Amino acid sequence: MRQKVIIAMLALVAILLARNLYTISMLQDEMRQGQIFRIIYFHVPAAAAAMTGSAVALVASILFLATKNFRYDALAVAVTEVGLAFLAVNLVTGSIWARVIWGVWWAWDPRLTSALICWILYAGYMILRQALEEPTQRATFAAVYSIFAFTDVPIVYFSIRWWRTIHPQPVFFSKEGSFPADWSRALMINMIAIFLLYAVLTMIRLRQEQTQREIDYLRRTLHAI
Amino acid sequence: MYPHTLTPVVAFMLQAQPGFDPIRDEIGRLQRNFQGLIWGFVAAWMILVGYTLMLTFRERKIRREMERLKSMVEESERR
């Protein structure tokens, strides 16, 4: 059943992205930036998906500490790992965008720096999990670390409002926003597709984590025999 | 930096330079712009496809390990 749901969701993602690729290519160029502005259709949804993932990881980590139920730990690791891939997409597309518009690949700007720190923090979460052998200790330490790592997420989000930055100000869900309706519609469709892709990858990763637990159980059984 | 993003005075000074061809400059800007967009899309999909491949290989490895352990448990229970 789960396999069928995953395949159906993947098919929907493929249809939405293929349809939207055509829509995006037909949009009018942005006046100052030209064609490169279309990177926003992957740059922003990837960031939004990664940030949502880190919020889910935070909730799952708190629930694990409260209940000691390993399902929450599995969910936390699944969303965090997939989130790292999406945050990498956000950072790399942003860097390419910066090269074209600002003339540099990277600037130590509050938004860029805090996003990079966020990626490093969650990469640290994955490294921490690799370093600890005992499952309960690993899950507990990882949950505490995940809660700590989340403190960077609001900083990433609000950095462009709190400090002077060369990163553009938000154009969605804000009073200063000035995105035309057809551009917003295309972005929303891409947002849905990217979030669906995130969910599918999380489901696959979650299943792997559950199977890994069964493997650990079988190993212990073998050891006992 | 391209003339259209500079202040009008600086843009005027640049365009006044001998040998400056605004049409060639604009074509170059559009080309760099388009190349950047393509590289951005390629990079985004390379990362996601790379991660998906990593998940697929891991899935295979986990399944093989699971089958191996199950057969070992069955064998040791038979003994």
Residue A111 lies in a domain: yes
Is B1's CB within 8 Å of A35's CB?
no
Size of interface A-B (CB pairs under 8 A): 85
Residue A59 lies in a domain: yes
Distances from the Cα of A115 to the Cαs of A5, A98, B36, in angstroms?
Answer: 32, 14, 21
Q: pLDDT, tens digit, for every residue of B5-28? A: 556 666 666 666 777 788 888 788
Residue A68 lies in a domain: yes
Residues of A in contact with B63 (CB under 8 A): 211
Number of domains in chain B: 1
Query: In whole numbers, what is the pLDDT of chain B averaged over residues?
Result: 82
Is A208's CB within 8 Å of B58's CB?
yes
The pLDDT of residue B46: 93
Residues of B in contact with A212 (CB under 8 A): 62
Does residue B33 belong to the interface with chain A, where contact is any CB pair within 8 Å? yes
Quote the minimal CA–CA distance from A80 to chain B in Å.
13
Task: Identify the domain containing residue B15 by its residue range.
Answer: 3-78
- Take residue A157 and report the two structure tokens written for it: 């989000």
Find all residues with CB under 8 Å of A204, minimum gap 6, and list them.
Answer: A6, B55, B59
**Banded pLDDT at B73 (limits 50, 70, 90):** confident
Residue A70 lies in a domain: yes
Prediction ipTM score: 0.87
Domain with residue A76: its CATH number is: 1.20.120
Is A225's CB within 8 Å of B73's CB?
yes
Find all residues with CB under 8 Å of B8, minimum gap 6, and list them.
Answer: none
Residue A213 lies in a domain: yes
Quote the minimal CA–CA distance from B34 to chain A in Å.
6
The pLDDT of residue B5: 56
Selection from A83, A2, A18 nearest residue A45 by Cα = A83
Selection from A21, A15, A9, A71 nearest residue A198 by Cα = A9
Residues of B in contact with A39 (CB under 8 A): 36-37, 40-41
Is B62's CB within 8 Å of A96's CB?
no
Q: Say which of A39, A85, A208 has its CB closest to residue B47.
A: A85
Residue with tokens 């956000």, as numbered in its chain? A90
Is A197's CB within 8 Å of B48's CB?
yes
pTM of this prediction? 0.86
Quote the minimal CA–CA distance from A101 to chain B in Å.
8
Distance of CA B48 to the CA centre of its chain: 9
Instruction: Give backbone dihedrals phi and psi of A24, rounded to 5 degrees, phi first.
Output: -65, -40
Does residue B36 belong to the interface with chain A, where contact is any CB pair within 8 Å? yes
pLDDT over threshold 50, residue B1: no
Task: Identify the domain containing residue A77 by its residue range.
Answer: 2-26+33-168+182-224
Residues of A in contact with B4 (CB under 8 A): 32
- Burial (CB < 10 A; 0-12, 13-18, 19+), residue B65, is middle
B51: three-class secondary structure by DSSP: helix
Alpha helices in chain A (DSSP H): 2-26, 40-67, 70-101, 110-131, 135-150, 152-162, 181-224
Enter the DSSP assignment of B3.
Answer: G
- Take residue A80 and report the two structure tokens written for it: 């965090």
Cα–Cα distance measured from residue A210 to residue B50, given in angstroms and rounded to the nearest whole number: 22
CA angle A125, B60, A197 (to 5 degrees): 60
Is A39's CB within 8 Å of B5's CB?
no
Mean pLDDT value across residues B52-74: 91
Cα–Cα distance measured from residue A85 to residue A136, given in angstroms and rounded to the nearest whole number: 26
Q: For every one of its 225 residues, what pLDDT tens digit does chain A have, with 9 covering 90 and above?
A: 778 888 888 889 888 888 888 888 888 877 777 788 889 999 999 999 999 999 999 999 999 999 999 999 999 999 999 999 999 999 999 999 999 888 899 999 999 999 999 999 999 999 999 999 888 999 999 999 999 999 999 999 999 888 888 888 877 666 666 777 888 888 888 899 999 999 999 999 999 999 988 888 888 888 777
A95: three-class secondary structure by DSSP: helix
B73 or A197, which is more confident? A197
- Burial (CB < 10 A; 0-12, 13-18, 19+), residue A32, is exposed
Is A100's CB within 8 Å of B66's CB?
no
Number of domains in chain A: 1
